[in-house]
Amino acid sequence: MWLNNSVTEFILLGLTQDPFRKKILFVVFLLFYTGTLLGNLLIITTIKASQTLGSPMYFFLFYLSLSDTCFSTTISPRTIVDSLLKEATISFSECIIQVFTFHFFGCLEIFILILMAVDRYVAICKPLHYMTIMNRRVCGILVAIAWVGSCVHSLVQIFLALSLPFCGPNEIDHYFCDLQPLLNLACSDTYMINLLLVSNSGAICTVSFLMLMVSYIIILHSLRNHSAEGRRKALSTCISHITVVILFFGPCIFIYTRPATTFPMDKMITVFYSIGTPLLNPLIYTLRNAEMKNAMKKLWQKKLVSDDRK
């Protein structure tokens, strides 16, 4: 369908056209992306190497860090390179691929956050049956369902993008390809497509956020029956999860649950959840998690001992 379009590439206007500011963005984005890779890869390596982090919570955290890494990689490398160019262009095919991967890993992160909430609910509200309910096989099936669900969501986004006719303007007022800015370039009425976009991405964000908030309210309410030490540990874990949920879903709901209107702040809000959140997640989950910090220390000590023997 898209082969009939006269537009073969798009010009990405980015966050700014000022050369000096683009250099500042290059440094900032490079630092953020490097921090995201180091933080999330450290979590992935620690969970894989540590025998003490074998619980379902860390199984899901492994996939959250993996999705964070991939989610950031769909945007950051190209944005970093584009900030050095006078004019950044992206082919139609690359644009469609970026829409797919961005929504795939973003949706995967949403589903993983839901699975982490389910895990905490079972661990706190059904402690005696925790390992029976959340066994390795069940966790693997849940993650597989999350991957399939993310793929279905992304294919819907691609279908919507390919149904848009582009026959004139090709300047995307954004720093990457997404359906919202593409709608502004389509040379046809986009009311129905925008409605489908809100019912797809917007509904996933809003419903998932409400489900997560309700689940954590139930979890926090059930902590009354636990010991002081149990409450402290569970509360610390839940606060970390709730912080991540609010930081990720707040901007997503703002962007994807409203009509196709653009605001000056849209791009900066998108920067926050597409580049900022993947960097903050490792910090939130490690700084408030004693088990993770101890496992990282042991891994580092093991590496030092290994280096000394050489």
pLDDT digits (tens, 9 = 90+) for 233-280: 778 778 888 888 888 899 898 888 876 666 778 888 889 888 889 998
Give the per-residue pLDDT at 65: 94
Residue 135 pLDDT grade (very low, low, confident, very high; cuts 50, 70, 90): very high
The token duo for 99 is: 């829409």
Residue 176 pLDDT grade (very low, low, confident, very high; cuts 50, 70, 90): very high
Q: Residue 24 pLDDT > 90, yes or no?
A: yes
Give the per-residue pLDDT at 197: 82
Give the per-residue pLDDT at 1: 44
pLDDT digits (tens, 9 = 90+) for 35-55: 999 999 999 999 998 888 888
Map residue 264 onto helix, strand or coil: coil
pLDDT digits (tens, 9 = 90+) for 184-212: 888 888 888 888 887 888 889 999 999 99
What percent of the chain lies above the pLDDT cut of 90?
A: 45
Q: Residue 294 pLDDT > 60, yes or no?
A: yes
DSSP output for 77-142: HHHHHHTTSSSEEEEHHHHHHHHHHHHHHHHHHHHHHHHHHHHHHHHHHSGGGHHHHT-HHHHHHH
CA 43, CA 213: separation in Å to the nearest integer? 25
Residue 2 pLDDT grade (very low, low, confident, very high; cuts 50, 70, 90): very low
Mean pLDDT of all residues in 60-83: 95
* 231 burial type by CB count under 10 A (0-12 exposed, 13-18 middle, 19+ buried): middle
What percent of the chain lies above the pLDDT cut of 70?
A: 94
CA 118, CA 112: separation in Å to the nearest integer? 10
CATH homologous superfamily for the domain 9-299: Rhodopsin 7-helix transmembrane proteins (1.20.1070.10)
Give the per-residue pLDDT at 69: 96
Q: Residue 214 pLDDT > 50, yes or no?
A: yes
Render the burial of 189-216: b for 16+ CB within 10 Å, e for the rest. ebeebbebbbebbbebbbebbeebeebb
Look at 308 and 129; give whichever has higher pLDDT. 129
Closest C-alpha among 95, 121, 146 to residue 222: 121
Give the per-residue pLDDT at 222: 84
Which residue has tokens 């469609």?
A: 96
Q: What is the mean pLDDT of the chain?
A: 87
Look up the pTM and report it.
Answer: 0.90
Give the per-residue pLDDT at 261: 66
CA 146, CA 150: separation in Å to the nearest integer? 6
